[in-house]
């Protein structure tokens, strides 16, 4: 049986002016991930950039059952309700879905 799990990979740069809201945002979004079957694989901070540009400060990897679960969650009411806070907390935010090659 083929593994159809999908990984939500998030990388972000925090808006320092609104960094006080970061923990509230993370707590809320992790609850939403959990309600949708998301299993945290890891949360990481960048320690030292080596090559490239625009390095994220934070990276999170969350495993979900499949791509559709992620798309439905991101387009759902709970996640979109956090959009204003997300815009304040992050100066740059990238979310992508990955799967095993």
In a domain, 2, yes or no: no
Number of structural domains in the chain: 1
**pLDDT tens digits, 14-45:** 999 999 999 999 999 999 999 999 999 999 99
- CA-to-CA dists, residue 26 to 7, 10, 29, 30, 47, angstroms: 18, 12, 5, 6, 20
CATH number at residue 79: 3.30.70.100
Print the SS3 string covering 48-62: CCCCCCCCCCEEEEE
Is the predicted pLDDT of residue 2 greater than 80, yes or no? Answer: no
Residue 1 pLDDT:
42
The overall average pLDDT reported for the chain is 94
Is the predicted pLDDT of residue 48 greater than 60, yes or no? Answer: yes
In a domain, 84, yes or no: yes
In a domain, 43, yes or no: yes
Q: What range defines the domain where residue 22 resides?
A: 16-48+55-91
In a domain, 26, yes or no: yes
In the chain, the percentage of residues whose pLDDT exceeds 90 is 87
In a domain, 7, yes or no: no
Is the predicted pLDDT of residue 3 greater than 80, yes or no? Answer: no
């Amino acid at each position: 049986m083929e593994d159809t799990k999908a990984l939500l990979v998030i990388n972000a740069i925090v808006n320092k002016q609104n960094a006080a809201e970061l923990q509230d945002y993370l707590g809320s979004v992790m609850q939403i991930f959990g309600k949708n079957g998301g299993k945290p694989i890891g949360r990481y901070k960048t320690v030292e950039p080596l090559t490239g540009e625009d390095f994220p400060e934070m990276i999170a990897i969350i495993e979900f059952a499949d791509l559709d679960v992620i798309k439905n969650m991101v387009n759902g009411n709970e996640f979109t309700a956090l959009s204003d806070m997300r815009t304040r907390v992050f100066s740059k935010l990238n979310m992508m879905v990955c799967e095993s090659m």
